[in-house]
Structure 1
Amino acid sequence: MVPPFRAIVVFHYVARLNSIAQAAAELNVTPSAVSQQIKALEEQIGAALITRKGRSISLTETGERYFELISDKVDGVIRATDMMRGKQHHTTLVIRATPTVSSKWLLPRLGRFMERVPDAKLRIDGSNEPVDFTRDNVDLEIRHGLGGWPGLYTEPLTPERFVPVCAPMVAAAGSLSPQQVLELPRIRSAKAQIQWSSRIEAQGLDPTPDARLSFDRSHMAIDAAVLGYGVALESELMIEAELRSGRLVVPVGRTPLLQVATQWLVCPRSNLRRQRLMRLIEWLREEAQSWAAESPINSIDFLN
């Protein structure tokens, strides 16, 4: 038998507000109509859900358990319905990505997507906060991390190699030994998945004093390196423009292969049924493949 969703929603309001009268006011119906829906639900379940004491009510043990099981799901349906009432959600794809990914990798490429899909409307939400897809009006997230988010579709954007970079005024490309790199003032991205300690361990180098400058945003660490404040260990995904323009160089000719996927396409699996979103995902895949083939550090000798 099909569950009486109207009655379930009514019970949800009664249980949350602990009042038939308040639930009736919230739903814009009469208290009598609320009572009828509760009675119909109780008959289908085969157990009492509420007890009445004068004008007050309380949930039975069955009612408490039932409310516990349905509350998040009903809240989700209500939020989804409210979101779908807005025209923007129908016409605009909302992408959330960290400020660094948004400005350093995504923004320079968006023109090609707009040319491919002339009627596309996008909103880029530059934030480090992970999306709560049950609450936030976001279609797709490029999430920073190492994957493993249960209940969501996750796909790595591309593997990334981490290399030391500095301004040419600090050191010329390929001019330093691995140990000499550590003698430069080091810049640290606090939230990066690969840290200086990984490079030191990979090459068996002598530890030196810790980084002088530390930033909680990679784009700030990159900008600090461009300004000549020292050497940063950064993902090739984020420093493409600076390397191509010569504002940053890799001061070593050989470097250990420190590679990991730190950017992931993340969304509910149900979102994959949307044609417009799939066109965006397919374009992101193509861009990631093209970027990997043309990365400015492909000529570096990586040590396995």
Structure 2
Amino acid sequence: MPLRAIAVFHAAARAGSLTRAAQDLGVTPSAVSQQIAALELHLGTSLMVKSGRRMALTEAGERYFEMISENLERVAEATRGIRGYLSSRSLTVRVTPTFATKWLLPHLGGFLDAYPDIDLRLDATNEPTDFARGAVDIDIRHGEGNWPGLFVEGITEERFLPVCHPGLCPPGSLRAEELPRFRLIHSVKSQVQWGHWFGLAGVSAPARWRRVLFDRSHMAIDAAANGIGIALESDLMMERELREGLLACPVSEPPQARRTTQWLVCPHDRLRRSQVAAFLAWLRAERDLWCGRTLRMAGE
């Protein structure tokens, strides 16, 4: 496939002039003309014709230009984005939206201040990274931790608690069996659902209940903080809301529902990059500080 000739034709078609395309490409107009002639020979059809002092696309040329433009623009964008990637102090982290907004961003200033020379990019998504295709250093994934062939480390064990705004129910004012009287907020992708929690509490889940469902935990947390109902969420994700008193557990003795849901994932060779090592060390230190504060708040 004559990729060079295709790129030259694209530049000439976009510029509408061989001379202008030559200036853009840093070559002579005759070189542009030769590449287009070679592409026309390869395709077996004419793509451009002279129209006065300008070059005009033939019908085939217009169709071909439309067909290749989007892909060539994507190649150009990818090239600009990857240029200098391996030699720079860049760090790209993909992270689940809830962990990004509820835990990582509130702590991130410390990392940026400690490593001002690292060019950090965060991509918030629940889609797992294909490390063979994407320029991603670390993936913080939600799941069970089963990703063979990759470095996998659980961030921490989280405690799942029923929570609501204190104005809806004062802390410790309810028994577990009383919760179905209230609107229950469901985070549909959570690894700990209400049915499981009721089972741990020794309560039969109601056949019918008032509920509202969200597909992101950060939405469920915000809904509970706004007094919409009672959510079942992770203390890791609710750190700020619990600390500031926006959320509290209305159940006097909630059962222990614990689970590790967030995982650090990357190819083993990424661990040799200094930026990756710095980020992992910082995150582990912040995690340990959080665990210490959580234990003190719980009186454990």
The alignment's TM-score, normalised by the length of structure 1, stands at: 0.70
1:226 corresponds to: 225
Which SS does the other structure have where 1:108 is aligned?
A: helix
1:192 corresponds to: 190
Residues of 2 paired with 1:227 and 1:156: CA distance? 31
**Of the candidates 74, 87, 101, which is equivalent to residue 84 of structure 2?**
87
Shift of residue 118, structure 1, vs aligned partner: 2.3
Shift of residue 300, structure 1, vs aligned partner: 6.9
**Of the candidates 133, 136, 142, which is equivalent to residue 134 of structure 2?**
136
1:104 corresponds to: 102
- Asked if 1:165 is matched to 2:163, the reply is yes
8 Å CA contact 1:215–1:221 kept in 2: the answer is: yes
2:15 corresponds to: none
1:65 corresponds to: none
Shift of residue 223, structure 1, vs aligned partner: 1.0
8 Å CA contact 2:92–2:121 kept in 1: the answer is: yes
Which amino acid in 2 is paired with 1:272?
A: L
2:30 corresponds to: none
Query: Which structure 2 residue ranges, 5 or more long, are not aligned?
Result: 6-77
8 Å CA contact 2:164–2:230 kept in 1: the answer is: yes
Q: In the TM superposition, what whole-angstrom CA distance separates every residue of 1:93-148 from its partner, at most 9, and x where no partner exists? A: 01111111111000011111122222122111011111111111211011000111
Shift of residue 88, structure 1, vs aligned partner: 4.3
Query: Which structure 1 residue ranges, 5 or more long, are not aligned?
Result: 1-21, 29-80
1:249 corresponds to: 248
The alignment's TM-score, normalised by the length of structure 2, stands at: 0.71
Residues of 1 paired with 2:184 and 2:119: CA distance? 41
Which SS does the other structure have where 1:124 is aligned?
A: strand
- What RMSD over aligned residues (CA atoms) do the two structures have, in Å? 2.2
Q: In the TM superposition, what whole-angstrom CA distance separates every residue of 1:27-80 from its partner, at most 9, and x where no partner exists? A: 99xxxxxxxxxxxxxxxxxxxxxxxxxxxxxxxxxxxxxxxxxxxxxxxxxxxx
Equivalence map 1:107-122=2 (5 Å)? 107-122=105-120
Between Structure 1 and Structure 2, how many residues are aligned?
Answer: 226
8 Å CA contact 2:182–2:210 kept in 1: the answer is: no
Shift of residue 206, structure 1, vs aligned partner: 2.5
The change in CA–CA distance for 1:110 and 1:229 in structure 2 (over 3 A counts) is same
Shift of residue 211, structure 1, vs aligned partner: 5.3
Q: In the TM superposition, what whole-angstrom CA distance separates every residue of 1:187-245 from its partner, at most 9, and x where no partner exists? A: 00000010001111112103222451000000111111111111000000111111111
Shift of residue 85, structure 1, vs aligned partner: 5.2
Residues 177-186 or 86-95, more deviating:
86-95
Residues of 2 paired with 1:300 and 1:168: CA distance? 20
Residues of 2 paired with 1:84 and 1:103: CA distance? 25
